[in-house]
Amino acid sequence: SPNKLRVTVLFLLFCIVFLPRPFVEARAAAHGINMYQEIGFQKDSQGEYKAPQCIHMDCLRWVKRDSYLPVGSHNLKAAAKAKLGYDPVELDPEEMCRMATEEPQTLATYSVSDAVATYYMYMKYVHPFIFALCTIIPMEPDEVLRKGSGTLCEALLMVQAYHANIIFPNKQEQEFNKLTDDGHVLDSETYVGGHVEALESGVFRSDIPCRFKMNPAAFDFLVQHVEKTLRHAIEEEEGLPLDQVTNFQEVCDEIKVKLNSLKDVPNRIECPLIYHLDVGAMYPNIILTNRLQPSAMVDEATCAACDFNKPGANCQRRMTWQWRGEFMPASRSEYHRIQQQLESEKFPPLYPDGAPRAFHELSREEQAKYEKKRLADYCRKAYKKIHVTKLEERVTTICQRENSFYVDTVRAFRDRRYEFKGLHKVWKKKLSAAVETGDASEVKRCKNMEILYDSLQLAHKCILNSFYGYVMRKGARWYSMEMAGIVCFTGANIITQARELIEQIGRPLELDTDGIWCVLPNSFPENFVIKSTNAKKPKVTISYPGAMLNILVKEGFTNDQYQELEDPASLTYVTRSENSIFFEVDGPYLAMILPASKEEGKKLKKRYAVFNEDGSLAELKGFEVKRRGELQLVKIFQSSVFEAFLKGTTLEEVYASVAKVADYWLDVLYSKVSVGFAGYASPACLCSPVGAREEMSKLV
């Protein structure tokens, strides 16, 4: 065994910790071999086979948590194609036993192909990612790879709390049969999440005109705020002093001319600009802007006992959020009556042949279960329903002087991600320059560095976004439903405000949690080059669609109460305005396809395809081609039909080209003769694509 010849420090694998080990262990045991004594591996509490003397890097764990690949692309072949850009050798599992005896060389090639793909995926993506996280998270590599992003967040917070001399709170414990203020038993409570809405369906292409019906008053508003908008974009977003800009007024005049021309003809048919306007790192930046942290959620009693609670103090920031609860219609008195009935009853023993137990002998969890079951039966008979849903807007006070260790942790992690994102852009430019010079070694080096920094910024993005989700995680030390609700409600208001403006100057298509897909007229102001005397930034490109939304965010969502500790000895704070919430502009794109719903009056959320200007697929959401276990025929059909949306010069021609592809596949299904289906000789061969569902999530 190689394990006996030398000490193995690192085992690299893809799902090997689960699949073949039990089979190998059972075979070895049948032959009298103890695998633990031979190679030192045994099953742990998670069912994985590990050895205490080495690290086990399972690439599958990285693919599932940090690769941002769709669920249907988590196997080695799909991940290698997406990340490494090639297709490893693939064999039908049913043919492997036959090949082991008849074609051993083919089977060996398949095995080596998987090993090579796993090795390169690890070296290019997993290794730098795990190494980077291990430098800031106090865990061993195995745990950094396997633990959930919420656990990693908590470990990071515990380190920062320790350095700030803050005692760790106890883990959040479940409160059984909690009562509402008016005495109803709560079945569940949560907050209203982000706002997602599908507004339009159809085919939108940048080379096919569409109809715009705009509001002239909106353009008057934009014209009046052009100087303020550009000033904010130059000074706040780009960090460039306005006195160093040489063509400020020229750019303002150019934008005004375009806006006034749109105002003069508000109803027009024009080629669209397809944009995705999204807020960069929205939830983390809402947390940072408003100094949100679980320990800062205070009530009147806390503020009344605070030394800083003096007349004129502006350390209490009040923010709204939406609470949603499901409770039972029975009143408090009815609930107490049921409790009294249960106290006089006997319940099954904990162990067989034991004595029946009284109600007070049950655990609190069992008591809550029996109370809820009896109360549900009572409500079903008395009220003809067991649940009532209530939605209410609540206001929570956020202390702006609470120790900022949570906010500081989020800010440090965000800045670290921005650093990697900036380096990714730098190496992307270097790669383009190397390709032009034709230096093969330099191209390879730049490509590797680009992949490295892209992997690192994606890894940090995953954990950065988890700081919001962590506060609602069961058992979290820093738990706060109020904070999560405020973050979501503020984000929804930002997107809703953006939609209200876009509706008047263009057409919003789809609202995401953190962005808005829209089409604007082709004559709408886009990108403008700002020239300056600054040696580091002689030219800066400003995107007007993003700038016009950012000035609205600044005016509506800036925190003017943000306080920072200036002198720890005298506990003096300095108050300033804070806003790090900015829209980013992606696009323009070539086309966006939003399918219609089968039901009249309904729209399909999070289901669209977007194409880049070069015809490549930029984004795909909600289609079966990305899902695991869907009909293979549907996947093949969707893969071929997407290209048809880019053909033709009018909408009629587009739909005709799509219909042609659809008709072909309908013929494949209905024809009883050979139809030349991708090499299939007869309709019987259609069984493979029609039946190739490895997992049946619903009836076909």
Q: Indicate the helix (H) or strand (E) that contains 83.
A: helix 76-83
Output the pLDDT for position 694. 47
Q: Which residues of the chain are in CATH 3.90.1600 domains?
A: 197-289+486-589
Output the pLDDT for position 626. 53
Output the pLDDT for position 18. 53
Residue 549 tokens read as 């939304």
Q: Which residues of the chain are in CATH 3.30.420.10 domains?
A: 2-147
Q: Do the Cβ atoms of 74 and 33 come closer than 8 Å? A: no
Q: Do the Cβ atoms of 14 and 118 come closer than 8 Å? A: yes
Does residue 33 or residue 686 have the better pLDDT?
Answer: 33
Identify which of 119, 118, 100, 410 has the alpha carbon closest to the alpha carbon of residue 283.
410
Q: Give the least confident one: 229-233, 629-633, 676-680.
A: 676-680
What is the rounded CA–CA span in Å between residue 670 and residue 692?
18
Q: Is the pLDDT of residue 678 over 50?
A: no
Average pLDDT over residues 574-600: 90
Give 193-209 pLDDT, tens digit per residue: 888 888 999 999 999 99
**pTM (two decimals):** 0.85
Would you identify the CATH topology of the domain 2-147? Answer: Nucleotidyltransferase; domain 5 (3.30.420)
Average pLDDT over residues 134-143: 86
Q: Is the pLDDT of residue 90 over 60?
A: yes
What is the rounded CA–CA span in Å between residue 11 and residue 6?
13
Q: Strand ranges (DSSP E) for 400-531? A: 507-511, 515-521, 527-531
Q: Do the Cβ atoms of 275 and 536 come closer than 8 Å? A: no
Q: How confident is the model at residue 128 (pLDDT cuts 50, 70, 90)?
A: confident
Q: Is the pLDDT of residue 569 over 70?
A: yes
What is the rounded CA–CA span in Å between residue 649 and residue 207?
7
Which one of 1.20.1510, 1.25.40, 2.20.230, 3.90.1600 gives the CATH number of domain 197-289+486-589? 3.90.1600
Average pLDDT over residues 476-502: 94
What percent of the chain lies above the pLDDT cut of 90?
A: 42
Give 156-202 pLDDT, tens digit per residue: 899 989 998 999 999 888 888 889 888 899 988 999 988 888 899 99
Whether residue 588 is preceded by a cis peptide bond, meaning omega within 30 degrees of 0, is yes
Indicate the average pLDDT of the chain. Answer: 85
Q: Give the least confident one: 46-50, 393-397, 502-506, 618-622.
A: 46-50
What is the rounded CA–CA span in Å between residue 219 and residue 232?
19
Average pLDDT over residues 396-404: 93
Q: Give the least confident one: 180-184, 312-316, 609-613, 619-623.
A: 619-623
Output the pLDDT for position 697. 43
What is the rounded CA–CA span in Å between residue 211 and residue 259?
18
Does residue 266 or residue 677 have the better pLDDT?
Answer: 266
Residue 444 tokens read as 């390879």
Average pLDDT over residues 48-61: 80
Q: How confident is the model at residue 502 (pLDDT cuts 50, 70, 90)?
A: very high
Average pLDDT over residues 661-689: 60
Output the pLDDT for position 535. 84
Residue 676 tokens read as 């030349």
**∠ CA 596-597-599 to the nearest 5 degrees?**
140
